[in-house]
Amino acid sequence: MSQRRNGIRWIWLAGFALSLGCSEEAATPSAGSAASSGMASAVEAPDREDPTDPKMALAPIAETPSPVPQELSAEELIEAGRVVYNASCIACHGLDPTKDGALGPAVAGASLALLEARVLRVEYPDGYVPKRDTQVMLPLPHLEPRLVELAAYLEALD
């Protein structure tokens, strides 16, 4: 069996297992368990949760802070940018940002303005002449909090 087919099978199995969840039989104590022998469990779940109960309301999702502290030395900023590049850019731009990648051009020396325009909005800053005339890149909005670090790394390579 090919690796792709095997991978798809595992993904399907994982999704199937998650869709099953826990059955009521698995959640209820069986004969001989601590609950049936008279020992109460430390935490007892209610039979049904009331969705109108204010205690059950979901807390608002807080804004995700940047995973890297804002006060970094130049070396730490560059290293953090290298990590961002390795995690998000290598697939298209290649291992070495100073050389063209399989899909994307060399990006060493890219400015923060270029990264903001290209990575977030898939456009170019005014007056910028693209290195390639392709429209392959997709927006990567999840990188917005890390663009300063990525720019520090790419500018350090120039």
Q: Where are the domains of the chain?
A: 74-156
Whether 104 contacts 93, CB under 8 Å: yes
Q: pLDDT by residue (tens digit) across 60-95? A: 544 444 454 568 899 999 999 999 999 999 999 999
Q: Which of 13-17, 32-36, 44-48, 65-69 has the lowest mean pLDDT?
A: 32-36
Distance CA 149, CA 72 (A): 10
Q: Of 13-17, 36-40, 115-119, 134-138, which has the strongest mean pLDDT?
A: 115-119
Whether 147 contacts 107, CB under 8 Å: no
Residue 30's pLDDT is what?
46
Average pLDDT, the chain: 75
Distance CA 158, CA 49 (A): 59
Structural domain 74-156, CATH architecture: Orthogonal Bundle (1.10)
Distance CA 150, CA 148 (A): 6
Instruction: Report percent pLDDT > 90 for the chain.
Output: 50
First to last CA, the chain: 46
Residue-wise burial string across 61-100, b where 16 or more C-beta atoms lie within 10 A, e elsewhere: eeeeeeebeeebeeeebbbbbbebbeebbeeebbeebeee
Distance CA 152, CA 149 (A): 5
pTM of the model: 0.56
